[in-house]
Chains A and B, each alone.
Chain A
């Protein structure tokens, strides 16, 4: 079974621009979560989608948004990029809402904001 895939793997953007990251979960998984990883703040939960609905949201500003499609693929959008948004963005999929909480992570998208 193929794992979680994320595209693109690397991205360079300029401050003030917006960016969209994509995540395809493991086949059959309906839950997708997003995490931000930075050297200073570590791994932080952004949000989770299940059946096209946002179920949980972390403590991030409204510039960070996401959505999930009917095939469970998810996109994350960051508007008005700031230098501090430079990070590794990880997507994780899970088989069901309210299950064992076991999540499978993709390789991440490394975003650099200049």
Chain B
């Protein structure tokens, strides 16, 4: 079984400032890691994923994340945010024990970009 902890429920930031959304996970098996974004009244959109290989992964909309196995973290970063990045962000893992199918989500981080 896996668990995911998103350390911040809300992150306010000014437009054009950098941002980091933190995610830690726990698992007894190998995992894949994902970040999803959810805009109001919409489903989830995949931002980026880590399956294997390079620990720095780049996603859509200028986001990137770094997998740190020793710290079991997968923090999401963006060097300069826009008003349109205001949304809820979810970190998720899928484990080999479920055939990498069932996603376990964190509780979400609401990013609020202010002008």
Contacts and interface: CB of A to CB of B under 8 A. Distances in A.
Interface in A86-110: 90, 92, 94, 97-108
A100 B32 contact: yes
Contact of A101 (B41, B44, B103, B106): B103
B90 A101 contact: no
Nearest to A107: B43
Nearest to A102: B49
Interface residues of A, number: 27
Interface stretch (B58-66, B68-76, B93-101): B93-101
A56 B43 contact: no
Chain A, interface SS category: strand
A100 B107 contact: no
Contacts of B29: none
A58 interface: yes
A55 B51 contact: no
A48 B32 CA distance: 17
* Residue of B41, B43, B45, B104 most packed against chain A (CB within 10 A): B43
B99 A105 contact: no
A42 interface: yes
The 3 closest A-B pairs by CB, nearest first: A101-B100, A43-B105, A105-B43
